[in-house]
């Protein structure tokens, strides 16, 4: 059995998890890779007490690993997009295959990295970059390769899903759950990347590129976080038969591709509504297979290491074979990746949940429904409760039929201009995820 | 771009679906396969009006396809295990790679087929054999290759799941739903294969072989169907917080591997409890990734074709490369597949649901709980309703803690021997699927 030498850069959570997994399951992993996988070097600024590097060559300079002539595969687990990009490019320039868990790096610099790898007959694998331990990259790129994908929708950030699950099941406020999540280690000290949807947007870009053979580009993704979400909307949604999830959605339409990350009402009867806590779930709907879902832990040392090691096995097994036989990083050669029009959020068509506070007197609701009718927006459901006589204003909740967001926006503007409506109109997009 | 020539044997539901998919999505499929996939010949006893073979060479003798020197890949879609086995072996002897959707063939003759293919440096792919369009073979074999699998549990037969879903949601009788399923085409005229669990056992054997590197062998699988399932047990289960699903379960224990197909109570909070109708879902729990689930359509022309075409793409892309770089059919070379002890059903340890009809008078329940205590079986929950005074007997429902099935059986025998208990004790295994 021949040997394949790997170098691991970064000994944080994922790096130590990967090293531990390779050591623990070596007897299982080597026959699956059809070679002996040897960790020849580790590059890390400091040791990690969660793993044993005593028998390994450890360098404080990760670039030593990228240049080590003995190493076949460089495993980039340092995170970030500056040094990580330099490291990966250095590894490729030195003839190393690359395995990475870095979603930001792939989303932002993937095209350059994959093109370089292709020119040099090297592989870059990144299963761990999306949805942690769930093999969604392989499932989408290879398992569903016979299909034309129609849309995909994923809970691809465990932190936001944990917060939303708590808000839903316990009626808690966003800020309150966030601070608990930070204490538990589910959320970073600076949670912006997660709660504003930036992390999800990175992952969505990768999934959309695989699904539609479009270039990796984070710029046109509409991204809205969960920081403004109010518990009462989560509660009204539940009353209407929906759960609120923070979804990354990519959909192919006749006019272009939708790419958007935002809080979304999904029917409780839809399986993804049941994906709770820090777990992830990605639905893929395609012309032949219909609708599928891939579910599991989307983060953490061991699940992420699971995907990193799967990539190491794939690369180690195939690296000495004809590069023409390799699965291209994005499913097709980079030359076959073609830009397409990405729709502006104003152009998308979906249903909407609306909430506003209206004066509780005759004729008010009639004005509002008139505005909706003028905009050709049908009302699918409405909630307005009887109020105590002392309350001047009443909450009105509306679920609309499918409409263009620009039409909804125009209607919202007219409603907000009414004297009888207080404050602004809250609206949340609704997806039925049924076709 | 080079060409790869395939021959399709069988033009039934899956054969015509595969031909249609290859034709419709050729522009997407060829760049993913890095070659032009050409259907050179079709072997079928009769034409199928659902697909267009007018421009194709059609032979009435499928063995013409297996021997056609122009063909690289034979796609076996005739079903069955006699002619299909001959066809596949003839194809291999003639140097063809094979793609098949045939679960019975792989479960019963897989070891012989894979060993022959390995000797001749040929690939045999069978993604469509388990769970239709869900890429579970690839997900388990490659996506989770870094893991030691602990257990897997799947709803892997859409017919039984449709029947159970109807029994659960509408309180209907088995026989009633079965005849509707037959009218709708969800169940065969002879439904034995599905409702007795034989089809599920075939698929379980394949999944277990991949998970634990054990030989394909249907013989030791404990198989129980759903024909004896009573709607009142489905209703009691729901009351206790469980759904009844027909699961295929494979679990690694210190004493050996459990392989069993039977109706199972699963907690309603478990995602697989929400997999309804003809859909399939496979949970895999492993040491690194934790618990995952793969969900989607498990049968039908287009979903099955989705997996068949994915296999064709994989084989076409890799067939000219070094065979050492191919993923072995069972994840490891057949020489690394080692028999292990398969537990008898009496040896498994799980929780149980029990129902029996007892005389409604003082001391009866005490006798029963004494029997359970003697067998060291704890009672986790019990239901006994107040009865009209006219009813002499009362239904008693018990949920037990985890116990060995032999202990449960002994307790059941003692309970059935009581004068105060009428008829036999119904019991159903319970799985919490949480670790």
CA distance B70 to B47: 22
Check B303 against A290: CB less than 8 A apart: yes
Within 8 A of A314 by CB-CB distance, chain B residues are 142, 145
Q: How confident is the model at residue A267 (pLDDT cuts 50, 70, 90)?
A: very high
**B113: pLDDT strictly greater than 80:** yes
pLDDT band at B435 (very low <50, low <70, confident <90, very high): low
pLDDT in tens, A202-240: 999 999 999 999 999 999 999 999 999 999 999 999 999
Q: Report the share of chain A in percent with pLDDT over 90.
A: 94
Q: Which of A139, A145, A322 sits opposite B321 (nearest CB)?
A: A322
Considering the domain B139-297, what is its CATH architecture?
2-Layer Sandwich (3.30)
Residues 114-143 on A with a CB inside 8 Å of B are 127, 133-135, 138-139, 142-143
CATH classification of A345-430, choosing from 3.30.70.260, 3.40.50.1970, 3.50.30.50, 3.60.15.10? 3.30.70.260
First to last CA, chain B: 48
pLDDT at A386: 81
Q: Are B274 and A102 in contact (CB under 8 A)?
A: no
Check residue A188 and give its pLDDT: 85
Q: A-chain residues within 8 Å CB-CB of B274? A: 271, 274
Tokens of B403: 């116990």
Q: So what CATH class is B3-132+301-336?
A: alpha beta
> How distant is the Cα of B97 from the closest Cα of chain A, in angstroms?
15
Return the pLDDT at B175: 95
Mean pLDDT of the residues in chain A? 96
Write out the catalytic residue numbers of B: 203
- Mean pLDDT for the stretch of residues B156-180: 95
- d(CA B231, nearest CA chain A) in Å: 23
pLDDT, average across residues A306-321: 98
Rounded mean pLDDT of chain B? 96
Start and end residues for every CATH 3.30.360.10 domain found in chain A: 136-297
Answer whether B26 touches A (CB < 8 Å).
no
Q: Is the confidence at residue A62, as pLDDT, over 90? A: yes
Please determine, for residue B177, whether its predicted confidence score (pLDDT) is greater than 80.
yes
State mean pLDDT over B64-92. 98
Q: Where in chain B is the domain with CATH 3.40.50.720?
A: 3-132+301-336
Q: How confident is the model at residue A435 (pLDDT cuts 50, 70, 90)?
A: low
Length of chain A, in residues: 435
Q: How do residues B274-288 score in pLDDT, each as one tens digit? A: 999 999 999 999 999
Of B406, B350, B5, B387, the residue nearest B151 (C-alpha): B350
C-alpha distance from residue B46 to each of A265, B52, B87 (Å): 49, 13, 17
Average pLDDT over residues A163-175: 95
- Per-residue model confidence as pLDDT tens digits over A333-343: 999 999 999 99
Q: How confident is the model at residue A390 (pLDDT cuts 50, 70, 90)?
A: confident
Reported as a pLDDT band with limits 50, 70 and 90, residue A387 is: confident
Q: Which of A32, A127, A309 sits opposite B331 (nearest CB)?
A: A32
Provide the pLDDT confidence category of residue A389 given band limits of 50, 70 and 90: confident
| Model pLDDT, residue B388 | 81
The model carries a pTM of 0.97
E strands in A173-297: 222-223, 242-253, 256-267, 279-286, 290-297
Tokens of A181: 């999540």
Poorest-confidence range of A38-47, A356-365, B310-319? A356-365
pLDDT at residue A184 tops 90: no
Q: Among 3.40.190.10, 3.30.565.10, 3.30.70.260, 3.40.50.300, name the CATH number for the domain at B346-430.
A: 3.30.70.260
Res. A329: pLDDT tops 70: yes
First to last CA, chain A: 48
Please determine, for residue B231, whether its predicted confidence score (pLDDT) is greater than 90. Answer: yes
- A136-297 classified as CATH 3.30.360.10: yes
pLDDT at A186: 82
Q: Give residue B391's pLDDT.
A: 86
Contact at CB, B310 and A142, closer than 8 angstroms = yes
CA distance B422 to chain A (A): 40
User: What b-and-e string marks burial along A25-60, b requiring 16 or more CB atoms within 10 Å of the CB?
Assistant: beebbbbbbbbebbbbbbbbeeebeebebeebebbe
Most A-contacting residue of B288, B308, B332 (CB-CB within 10 A), to test interface: B288
Distance CA A427, CA B8 (A): 52
- A139 to chain B nearest CA, in Å? 6
- Residue B16: list chain A partners with CB under 8 A: none
**Testing the interface with B: which of A27, A169, A289, A314 to mutate, by most B Cβ within 10 A?**
A289
CATH 3.30.360.10 in chain B: give the residue spans. Answer: 139-297
């Amino acid at each position: 059995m021949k040997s394949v030498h790997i170098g691991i850069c970064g000994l944080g959570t994922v790096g130590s998890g990967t090293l531990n997994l390779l050591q623990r399951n070596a007897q299982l992993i080597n026959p699956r890779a059809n070679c002996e996988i040897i960790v020849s070097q580790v590059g890390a600024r400091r040791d990690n007490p969660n793993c044993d590097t005593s028998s390994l060559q450890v360098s404080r300079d990760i670039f030593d690993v990228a240049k080590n002539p003995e190493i076949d595969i460089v495993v980039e687990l340092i995170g970030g997009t500056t040094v990580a990009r330099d490291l990966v490019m250095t590894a490729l320039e030195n003839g190393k295959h690359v395995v990475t868990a870095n979603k930001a790096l792939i989303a932002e610099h993937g095209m350059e990295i994959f093109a370089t790898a292709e020119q040099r007959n090297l592989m870059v694998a990144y299963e761990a970059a999306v949805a942690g331990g769930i093999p969604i990259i392989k499932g989408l790129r290879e398992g569903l390769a016979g299909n034309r994908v129609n849309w995909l929708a994923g809970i691809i950030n465990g932190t936001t899903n944990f917060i939303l699950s708590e808000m839903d099941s316990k009626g808690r406020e966003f800020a309150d759950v966030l601070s608990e999540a930070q204490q538990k280690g589910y959320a970073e000290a600076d949670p912006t990347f997660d709660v504003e949807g930036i992390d999800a947007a990175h992952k969505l870009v990768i999934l959309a590129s695989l699904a539609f053979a479009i270039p990796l580009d984070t710029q046109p993704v509409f991204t809205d976080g969960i920081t403004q979400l109010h518990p009462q909307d989560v509660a009204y949604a539940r009353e209407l038969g929906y759960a609120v999830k923070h979804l990354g959605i990519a959909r192919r339409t006749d006019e272009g591709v939708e790419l958007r990350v935002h809080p979304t009402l999904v029917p409780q009867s839809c399986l993804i509504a049941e994906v709770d806590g820090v777990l992830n779930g990605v639905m893929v709907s395609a012309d032949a297979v219909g609708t599928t879902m891939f579910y599991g832990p989307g983060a953490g040392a061991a699940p992420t290491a699971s995907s990193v090691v799967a990539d190491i096995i794939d690369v180690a097994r195939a690296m000495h074979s004809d590069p023409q036989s390799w699965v291209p990083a994005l499913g097709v050669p980079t030359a076959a990746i073609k830009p397409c029009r990405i729709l502006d959020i104003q152009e998308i068509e979906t249903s909407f949940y609306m909430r506003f506070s209206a004066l509780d007197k005759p004729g008010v609701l009639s004005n509002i429904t008139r505005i909706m009718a003028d905009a050709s927006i049908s009302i699918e459901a409405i909630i307005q409760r009887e109020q105590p006589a002392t309350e001047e204003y009443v909450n009105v909740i509306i679920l609309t039929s499918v409409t263009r967001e620009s039409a909804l926006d125009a209607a919202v503007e007219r409603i907000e201009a009414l004297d009888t409506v207080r404050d602004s109109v809250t609206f949340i997009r609704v997806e039925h995820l049924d076709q």
